Structure 1
Amino acid sequence: MCWIKIQKWNKTLRYVIATLFFLSVLMSCKKNESQLQTDPFWNDFNKIELLNFEEDLTSTSITSINAKVEAINDIGVTHGESALKIVFKSDEKQTGIKIEPKTPIDASKLKDFCLVFDATNPGDFSTHLYVEITNHEGKTRTRSVSVPVNTTKTYFFELEGKYLRTDTNLRDNPKPWNIPSVQMKMRGRIEPIDFSKITSITFYTKNTLHNKEVVLDNVLLVETPEISNNYLVGIIDKYGQNAKFNFEGKITSDNQLKAMAQAELKQLEEEGPMGGRSTFGGWLNGPKLNATGYFRTEKVDNKWALIDPKGYLFFSIGIANVRMANTTTFTGVDFKNEKIRSLDPEEVTPEDSKGMVKLGKEITNTSYIAYPERNKMFLELPTYDDPLANHYSYRRKQHFGPFAHGETFSFYQANLERRYGETKEGEHLKKWVDVTLKRFLNWGFTSFGNWAGYEFYHENRMPYFADGWIIGDYKTVRSGYDFWGEMPDVFDPEFTERTKLTINKIAEEVKNNPYCIGVFVDNEKSWGVPGTVKGQYGIVLDALSMPAIESPLKKEFTRLLKAKYQDIKVLNEVWETNIINWSSLESGLNLKEQEAYTDSMVTDFSMLLEVYATKYFEVVHDVLEEIMPNHMYMGCRFAPWGMGKEVLRAAKKYVDVMSYNYYEEGIGKKYWSFLEEIDKPSIIGEFHIGTAVSGLFHPGVIHAADHNDRARMYKEYLNSVIDNPYFVGAHWFQYIDSPVSGRAHDGENYNVGFVTNTDVPYPSMVKAAKEINSELYARRFNSPISNNK
């Protein structure tokens, strides 16, 4: 008799399936005549069979995570007589199964190996399936893939292998073998992890808008053959495309590029902008409210709304990162002339946001191949005397990756010059600005998102958001999850001075233009990760560990604790500590390694974190209010992994619009229930969906099955935002696909664009945008609206 133990994730029983199937019943069942076959590529290699759902599984615990699980003997059976069906529940943070053998899986005898399994999707929607593997040290690797509807395929991802030990500055590499199996794509960064012993495997989805289904069978660890030494050689063609993969829309000649450009320009001229919009993109046929000459917010019939400068209702729907700063990729070349690497300590623009750097002969004459493996990726790069050599640039540093610095090239800008020509310097860029605006107006967008190029600021054809970063030599503090960098010590006077420098620069660029909706300052800051005391209050713990004489933040925390407790003995009593005196606390108290924290400690940590966050938003708000009083403060675009309750409360006090970057399939009800309590206008600063059929090596954060599925998911995401009364906009990230060879900043090589790296729009996405945008205001304000003059 075969038993599978099913438990709920939180250990309270929800689905208890005492017996999924009996061996005697299975043996008596007629074998499925149309049984599907797994990819035969894996048959000839050493393997460890993990699960085939046939044999006794008493040594394995399969835990249900908010999911329905059942054994089936028809659809999706690829091995033997049965398979496991998982029904994933919608609007859950995580839903799936966790497989935990009683003893760790020993894979030490396998050299380089993959996890391999078969998956079938019998449902109505593609399933973005995640798989997380945990080793004996608690380290994990997560991969994901879109499982298309009505398909059965073999999926794999590498756990040990050659390229996992080599960083080539690609967020993920192409498939290492020419086989039918589908390679799951990396979540996070490529790095070596010891998977000789595996303690758990989790199959799951998260935050979906629909219930999803997947049938699993034949789960294996398989030893893999050697990867060719030429695996990454010549993978990028002269247009910056995938050289070894044919896909819809691939460019093969300059004439083809020019012809496509001419046809599109003719269409844009004939069709013109989408109708029904005010001068600033508001709802021309809707009510006219109080006009202030600038954008503002108002709650109208229990729905938050932006109001444009003329008084029309406005919803910000557009695309972020419409600029050249992220179009360059490392070539593997560097220069011996150190002048190119000089840094100005007074800079207020980070490397990621800088434009092109012109390279003179005094620099290029000192070139050398610094990274041969990287340089060999490219089939053809222009010589320095080629007309397209003006699209070379330089990066003085990388956020993360293998390159300290080096030469970069923008295939996108080179392709613009190929498309539109260049009779005088910079002409192709002026054409790009004009064409981009015509596209956005024709497609029905009402604004840009964050990081619009400065070239658009005073065209006065499309509203935009200004942006800036507070960078400089102020003191810092760490949250413990410092993905984009350390956090500022907001009580350091230098932080205020750097804020003033940044806002002054933004004001100079904007020039009080009413087309500027508001200002985003900073992005996805590492406030801490809610869920654990150390995760959520890392900033507090780090500050407490510092000497007050070196940390203005620690000095402020000490002052607040003194004011609350007066006597150190009282603090020791509630914290259960043995701090000698206040001077001892000032000199540094390391609580980072503590296993448990008292309730009073956590209460105080919460208070201190809110003080810290409040000071941050207060400083930025006050400087903006003084220098740019007519433009809204749009916040810092929170990431879901970095916004605890204290930080949200602090932001609410000072921002005009709360902003969030949210890479999921849409806006569900459970996660976003906190909006009701905050009751502030909110905006989605980033989201995207990509697909593996586009020629790029990585779809992006959220995956679709193909171009049509991508367009469907795009519309569903936006409708979930439009229908939510607290949101006043949503911005797709980004306008242009990442470079196929990885953006210089951090190696992202995602299919995230509305246009390709050859500047060709994706037809399915344009069609979806027009459909959404033509119905935008009627859908958003579908009930009678008061004329609140």
Structure 2
Amino acid sequence: MKRWAWWLVAGLGLAVPMGAGATQVADLTAPAAGVRVGTQHVTAAPAAETAADGVAQRRYTFTPSPAPALTLAPAHGAWDWRSQGELHLRVQNAMPWAVTLDLVVDSGQGQHLQATVGLPAGPAQTLVLPLAATSPLAFGMQKGPARPFDDDGQRILLATAVSGQLDPAAVHAVRVSMPAPQAPQSILLGRLDVVRGTPLLQAAYTGIVDRYGQYTRGQWPEKIADDAALRAAVNQRLPAAATARMDRYGGRLDVQLNGTGWFHAQKADGRWWLVTPDGHGFFSLGVDATVADGTRTYVEGREAMFRDLPPDTGAWAAFWGTGDSRDPQRGAGAGRCCEHGRWFDFYAANLYRVDGKNWLAAWRTRTLARLKAWGFNTLGNWSDPALGAMHQLPYTRELELRGDFGNVSTGHDLWGRMPDPFDPRFAPAVEAAAAKAAQGVRDDPWLLGYFAGNELSWAAWGPGGRWALAIGTLRGEARSAAKQAFIADLRAKYGTPDRLAAAWGIALPTWQALAATNFPAPEPDAAHPAIAADYSAWLSRYAGQFFRIVAAAIHRHDPHHLYLGSRFAMKTSEAIAMCAKYCDVVSFNVYADLPQHGFDAAAMRQLDKPVLISEFSFGSDDRGPFGNGVVSVETEAQRGVAYARYLQAAASDPDIVGVHWFEYVDEPVTGRLLDGENSHFGLVGITDIPFRGFVEAVRKANAAVRH
């Protein structure tokens, strides 16, 4: 049921100027001029109440329903906000937990702006909604400051991601709703204003990074204020590494298997194991991206975000550089600003502050000691090669699949388009990549194996996403080698275009029509099962061609070590089956609460190949960086709980042979160079200070698995 309360003064539909650059639209504590307030499954308290700061507010309770809403509209006509840039709403969460609010501003021609914010428990604040579409990408990062911050004594909560369009000359309504509350939820509301320009949007991104790369407006136990505190925190004493009952590679002495002199995979008593060169069972506990140079962030074009940056001269010059991360074929970070130009490396600069000119050697020694003390036994993908060469932990290598070969777009080209393995230039490029990766390590028993590719676009999102590679192949250019191979398969099966047309339910006068660029490949449907059957056959052939070529190149240049797969994210059953056929281990990047929720465990059991979880993590937003990763938890303490639960589930699965955490160091507050990702899921912060509570929880969980 929807109710309208008419709060009218002299029948005016005009906003009332309130000074200080703000124009009042409505006051939700008392009758307002020319405004009507509608409620749908929302009840208002009969009287206002006074907040701790002396400001009047009224309590509104959103009752269980799909979308209880409070709507404000002008009594007559529409609001003209052409000179306004932000909407400000006084709001306080009356619950002891966070609630979610959906904000919508409706205007003429069916246009509207929409944003979703998390309203934390605590004191009142000003909720700021920019009156134009925006996102953190406009400021060069993937996530913006979603937690409240102080601006000259005013507590601000910014809607960092606003989508849609607005006709500012004809604003019809402002709606505040909650998505499907399961119990009554109350908030306190006050004035609704609009202001000129975007002062608080700009303030939210100004002066947010200090000289150490830390977020200036947050506090947490590991945050430091001076160099002395930095050195003391970085050099904390470590617990002794648990090496009892382990061989030199970290294998379990109580699990005796076949020793070959190299890492390999073996199934014993119904369970898959990685096996050390000395012949002992090895559950790989790895950390990805253990590097000292992975946290650079662009400064150029965003100078106002940074406070007290060191000069680009003298000893500090080593931590400045230039880069260009623009790539029109990569979807990750698309549309962001400030993706090229000058960058600064806060992490490396902090290491210099701690250890002076020999900072890199000191970091390598300290990092290996930490990983061993915390119970890790593997250096995961993208880690510093020098760490592996020190022969203290087994390590992995990556084949960089780059070259001038063709590609296929699936529409989900997060890290670029899918390599075309039918292009005659693909195999030589893989050959060169394998030779480069194996150089100097093919005879090293500490090498675990090789990955080739990461989160390749085997599929796309959506219900029809599993067919995206087949559809993308047929929609590709006429000269595409993959397309020509697919057409050859179809011609061999059907013989004539009319037989294919009948099976697929399409018009196809000639084979040349199928070869045309942008051919409208049909989506599979129940009436034409041949489409799905043909697409499935093609997906198998495509994946088989890819994995066969890569496996042959790896084993030609290194006959000793494992091919660890290609780190599936988007995937199809056909691609997984071909990976299992040609690879020694099938790897999945599984961002979920449990590893088994990221792949088909029953299917893998049928394929009878070991599984490596090559990426997982849990993030929170209470340690500086704004992002909390793909799988988020509310607090830092919950990260350790989630880690232990995930690891226990992996170790108890007879097909899983290891898990690799992503990643060693937190990402920069303002985003990494590659794509602006800026999440907190590190073992250590940008200052190289370990997150003590989390790493202790990790150490205990790792010890439970290794023993």
Please report the TM-score for the alignment, with normalisation by the length of structure 2.
0.79
Tell me which of 322, 335, 340 is aligned to 1:405.
Answer: 340
1:387-413 CA distance string (max 9 Å, x none)? 122111221334543235212111100
Deviation at 1:624, TM superposition (A): 0.9
Deviation at 1:202, TM superposition (A): 8.8
Deviation at 1:565, TM superposition (A): 0.9
Unaligned runs of 5+ residues in structure 2 are: 4-25, 45-57, 71-76, 168-172, 328-332
Structure 1 residues 418 and 280: alpha-carbon distance in aligned structure 2, compared to 1, 3 A threshold: same
Distance (whole Å) between structure 2 residues aligned to residue 273 and residue 41 of structure 1: 63
| Partner in structure 2 of residue 571 of structure 1 | 500
Tell me which of 220, 226, 230 is aligned to 1:247.
Answer: 220
Structure 1 residues 505 and 100: alpha-carbon distance in aligned structure 2, compared to 1, 3 A threshold: farther
Structure 1 residues 531 and 165: alpha-carbon distance in aligned structure 2, compared to 1, 3 A threshold: closer
Tell me which of 48, 53, 58 is aligned to 2:41.
Answer: 53
Deviation at 1:686, TM superposition (A): 1.5
Distance (whole Å) between structure 2 residues aligned to residue 452 and residue 682 of structure 1: 21
1:424-462 CA distance string (max 9 Å, x none)? xxx210111110000011111121221111111211100
Matched, 1:232 2:205: yes
Structure 1 residues 314 and 408: alpha-carbon distance in aligned structure 2, compared to 1, 3 A threshold: same
Structure 1 residues 139 and 501: alpha-carbon distance in aligned structure 2, compared to 1, 3 A threshold: farther
Matched, 1:715 2:644: yes
1:452-491 CA distance string (max 9 Å, x none)? 1111121110011111220111111110111111111110
Distance (whole Å) between structure 1 residues aligned to residue 63 and residue 402 of structure 2: 54
Deviation at 1:583, TM superposition (A): 3.3
| Partner in structure 2 of residue 297 of structure 1 | 265
Unaligned runs of 5+ residues in structure 1 are: 4-39, 57-77, 86-96, 205-211, 333-370, 779-789
Matched, 1:686 2:625: no
Asked whether the 8 Å contact 2:113–2:163 carries over to 1, the reply is: no
Tell me which of 560, 574, 581 is aligned to 1:646.
Answer: 574
Deviation at 1:254, TM superposition (A): 1.2
| Partner in structure 1 of residue 250 of structure 2 | 281
Q: Which residue identity does 2:139 align to in structure 1?
A: T
Matched, 1:429 2:409: no
Distance (whole Å) between structure 1 residues aligned to residue 266 and residue 114 of structure 2: 45
| Partner in structure 1 of residue 418 of structure 2 | 487
Distance (whole Å) between structure 1 residues aligned to residue 495 and residue 399 of structure 2: 41
Q: Helix, strand or coil: the match of 2:646?
A: helix
Deviation at 1:675, TM superposition (A): 3.4
Distance (whole Å) between structure 2 residues aligned to residue 202 and residue 159 of structure 1: 19
Distance (whole Å) between structure 1 residues aligned to residue 164 and residue 657 of structure 2: 43
Deviation at 1:602, TM superposition (A): 2.1
Q: Which residue identity does 1:193 align to in structure 2?
A: G
Matched, 1:525 2:462: no
Distance (whole Å) between structure 2 residues aligned to residue 388 and residue 121 of structure 1: 48
Asked whether the 8 Å contact 1:128–1:704 carries over to 2, the reply is: no
Q: Which residue identity does 1:194 align to in structure 2?
A: Q
Distance (whole Å) between structure 1 residues aligned to residue 346 and residue 568 of structure 2: 31
Tell me which of 414, 429, 445 is aligned to 2:349.
Answer: 414
Deviation at 1:203, TM superposition (A): 4.6
Structure 1 residues 557 and 706: alpha-carbon distance in aligned structure 2, compared to 1, 3 A threshold: same
Tell me which of 378, 390, 400 is aligned to 2:306.
Answer: 378
Asked whether the 8 Å contact 1:167–1:191 carries over to 2, the reply is: no
Distance (whole Å) between structure 1 residues aligned to residue 149 and residue 474 of structure 2: 52
Distance (whole Å) between structure 2 residues aligned to residue 484 and residue 413 of structure 1: 26
Question: Bigger CA drift: 698-707 or 769-778?
Answer: 698-707
Tell me which of 627, 631, 634 is aligned to 2:561.
Answer: 631
Q: Helix, strand or coil: the match of 2:588?
A: strand
| Partner in structure 2 of residue 389 of structure 1 | 317
Cα RMSD for the two superposed structures: 4.2
Deviation at 1:513, TM superposition (A): 1.4
Distance (whole Å) between structure 2 residues aligned to residue 42 and residue 616 of structure 1: 62
Distance (whole Å) between structure 1 residues aligned to residue 276 and residue 94 of structure 2: 49
Please report the TM-score for the alignment, with normalisation by the length of structure 1.
0.72
Distance (whole Å) between structure 2 residues aligned to residue 476 and residue 558 of structure 1: 16
How many pairs are equivalent? 640
After TM superposition, the structure 1 = structure 2 runs for residues 301-700 of structure 1, keeping only pairs within 5 Å, are 301-332=269-300, 371=301, 374-399=302-327, 400=333, 401-403=336-338, 405-422=340-357, 427-529=358-460, 531-533=462-464, 535-546=465-476, 548=478, 550-588=479-517, 590-592=519-521, 598-639=528-569, 642-668=570-596, 672-673=600-601, 674-700=603-629
1:642-688 CA distance string (max 9 Å, x none)? 11222222222112211111222223569644433443211222222
After TM superposition, the structure 1 = structure 2 runs for residues 3-18 of structure 1, keeping only pairs within 5 Å, are none
| Partner in structure 2 of residue 703 of structure 1 | 632
1:708-749 CA distance string (max 9 Å, x none)? 122212222222222222211111111001012211111112
Q: Helix, strand or coil: the match of 2:246?
A: coil
1:62-86 CA distance string (max 9 Å, x none)? xxxxxxxxxxxxxxxx94566339x
Deviation at 1:158, TM superposition (A): 4.9
Distance (whole Å) between structure 2 residues aligned to residue 133 and residue 721 of structure 1: 43
Q: Percent identity?
A: 26
Distance (whole Å) between structure 1 residues aligned to residue 164 and residue 664 of structure 2: 34
Structure 1 residues 455 and 53: alpha-carbon distance in aligned structure 2, compared to 1, 3 A threshold: same
Distance (whole Å) between structure 1 residues aligned to residue 364 and residue 214 of structure 2: 23
1:742-780 CA distance string (max 9 Å, x none)? 1111111211111011110001111111111111134xx
Distance (whole Å) between structure 1 residues aligned to residue 174 and residue 536 of structure 2: 37
After TM superposition, the structure 1 = structure 2 runs for residues 211-222 of structure 1, keeping only pairs within 5 Å, are 216-217=185-186
Q: Helix, strand or coil: the match of 1:691?
A: coil
| Partner in structure 2 of residue 368 of structure 1 | none
1:120-145 CA distance string (max 9 Å, x none)? 999xxx99989899999999988686
Distance (whole Å) between structure 1 residues aligned to residue 367 and residue 263 of structure 2: 23
Asked whether the 8 Å contact 1:527–1:539 carries over to 2, the reply is: yes
Structure 1 residues 129 and 107: alpha-carbon distance in aligned structure 2, compared to 1, 3 A threshold: farther
Distance (whole Å) between structure 1 residues aligned to residue 103 and residue 156 of structure 2: 19
| Partner in structure 1 of residue 232 of structure 2 | 259
Deviation at 1:319, TM superposition (A): 1.3
Structure 1 residues 670 and 457: alpha-carbon distance in aligned structure 2, compared to 1, 3 A threshold: closer
Distance (whole Å) between structure 2 residues aligned to residue 141 and residue 242 of structure 1: 27
Q: Which residue identity does 2:220 align to in structure 1?
A: F
Structure 1 residues 708 and 52: alpha-carbon distance in aligned structure 2, compared to 1, 3 A threshold: farther
Q: Helix, strand or coil: the match of 2:164?
A: coil
| Partner in structure 1 of residue 8 of structure 2 | none
Deviation at 1:593, TM superposition (A): 7.6
Structure 1 residues 2 and 585: alpha-carbon distance in aligned structure 2, compared to 1, 3 A threshold: closer
1:328-349 CA distance string (max 9 Å, x none)? 11121xxxxxxxxxxxxxxxxx
| Partner in structure 1 of residue 73 of structure 2 | none
Distance (whole Å) between structure 2 residues aligned to residue 593 and residue 222 of structure 1: 50
Asked whether the 8 Å contact 1:306–1:728 carries over to 2, the reply is: yes
